[in-house]
Amino acid sequence: MWRPGALRKLLRTRLLERSLRRLPRDRSVLDLCCGHGFYFDINPAACGIDGDPVAVASLRARGLDVSHGDVLAGLPWEDGRFGWVVAHDVLEHFELAPLLRLAAEVRRVLAPGGRFLVLVPNRRGYDYGVRHGVGHRLFVTAREIDLLAGQCGFEVEAAYPEPLPRWAGRLFTHNKEVFRLRRL
């Protein structure tokens, strides 16, 4: 049966989020603030954490490994547990000081040399979220990522727009800025 939004979901998982599709498809990936589980459509073996009990219950009912918790209070995994942590449309929901604490915690659960993949909205997408009241608090740019990397023990390996080039993406609400950080 065809569901409303199925085409949008298919386009996002197959075409728009290329960076997420390049990650390992196993338990070495943590989906930080996983929400209703978009990334699990790409990697159902991943681990996730979110503060919304309804979203967590829904994902657990699908048999997914999702923890309920406040990510600002710490992550419930041992040091070095993951090879990758994904923050897809997450960082813009925090102010800078809590974001730096969260990044330090992400570093802790990453193995040495592990990667932190950050996808944030471009300016148009950020403003769209502000207008629709989804909790955007910080427009995350390369400046904030460089600050986070320098203070929390990461190196920025790559920064690029996705799926469209930056000049074209300015016209597209769902274009992302992608940053791949490596734990030092």
Strand 82-88 with 110-121, pairing: parallel
- The mean pLDDT value of the chain amounts to 92
Q: Are 156 and 179 in contact (CB under 8 A)?
A: yes
- Say what the pLDDT of residue 81 is: 98
Residues 6+ apart with CB under 8 A from 131: none
- For the residues 121-146, what does the mean pLDDT come to? 94
Q: Please tell me the least confidently modeled range out of 39-53, 151-165, 168-182.
A: 168-182
pLDDT digits (tens, 9 = 90+) for 60-92: 999 999 999 999 999 999 999 999 999 999 999
Q: Is the pLDDT of residue 3 over 80?
A: no
pLDDT over 70 percentage in the chain: 91
126 within a domain of the structure (yes/no): yes
Helix (H) or strand (E) holding 119: strand 110-121
- CA dihedral for 11, 56, 132, 104, sign (positive or negative): negative
16 within a domain of the structure (yes/no): no
Q: Are 180 and 145 in contact (CB under 8 A)?
A: no
159 within a domain of the structure (yes/no): yes
Query: For the domain that residue 154 is a member of, what is the CATH number?
Result: 3.40.50.150
Q: Are 103 and 90 in contact (CB under 8 A)?
A: no
The residue range of the domain holding 140 is 84-184
C-alpha closest to that of 110 among 75, 83, 78: 83
Q: Are residues 117 and 168 in the same domain?
A: yes
C-alpha closest to that of 100 among 59, 170, 48, 154: 154
Q: Are residues 161 and 92 in the same domain?
A: yes
Query: What's the whole-model pTM score?
Result: 0.92
- Say what the pLDDT of residue 174 is: 83
Q: How confident is the model at residue 170 (pLDDT cuts 50, 70, 90)?
A: confident
141 within a domain of the structure (yes/no): yes
Q: Is the pLDDT of residue 12 over 70?
A: no
Q: Are residues 150 and 109 in the same domain?
A: yes
SS3 of 11-65: HHHHHHCHHHHCCCCCCCEEEECCCCCHHHHCCCCCEEEECCHHHHHHHHHCCCE
27 within a domain of the structure (yes/no): no
Termini Cα distance of the chain: 47
Q: Are residues 56 and 104 in the same domain?
A: no
What is the count of structural domains for the chain? 2
- Say what the pLDDT of residue 2 is: 47
149 within a domain of the structure (yes/no): yes
